[in-house]
Amino acid sequence: MTLLKIQSYESFDYSKYGLLTRLDFQRRFLETDESLVDLELELANHAQPTGNVLIITAKRVSDLKIGNLNSGETILLMIRDISSYGLEFARYRVKDEEANVLEFNCCDFDFSLRSQ
């Protein structure tokens, strides 16, 4: 399932959507004094910023690193399978391979196109 999800993302033309227009995170606190972070990204098409946007939702985010959001550079989010690393609740590594603006691990992710 992990590999199929990554292949589905890679078969989609995600490289067109390199303008990060929204970055939302939600932190939920559990009764066990743990917290969970979910993340939603909105990326616009750099050729048509007012057209459809790519929405990526990541569940149970860890090791979140955010770089310079004011750079204006386009980003390229690559997703790798890290389930064999033995990290608890981390099956995917999401990393901006262009501008190093964003990277994180997550338990699960989804993506879809949405009209603005």
Range of the domain at 29: 2-114
The reported pLDDT for the residue numbered 87 is 87
Which residue is listed with tokens 């981390």?
90
What the block records as the tokens of 25 is 């995170």
CA distances from 54 to 1, 77, 95, 98, 115 (A): 21, 11, 16, 17, 9
| pLDDT on residue 40 | 97
Residue 47: the pLDDT is 79
State which residues of the chain have pLDDT below 50: none
The whole model's pTM is what?
Answer: 0.90
Q: Report the pLDDT value the prediction gives residue 24, as an integer from 0 to 100.
A: 96
pLDDT for residue 90: 94
> The tokens of 72 are what?
């204006």
Count up the domains in the chain and report the number.
1
Tell me what the pLDDT averaged over the chain comes to. Answer: 91
Residue 101 is encoded by which pair of tokens?
């603006």
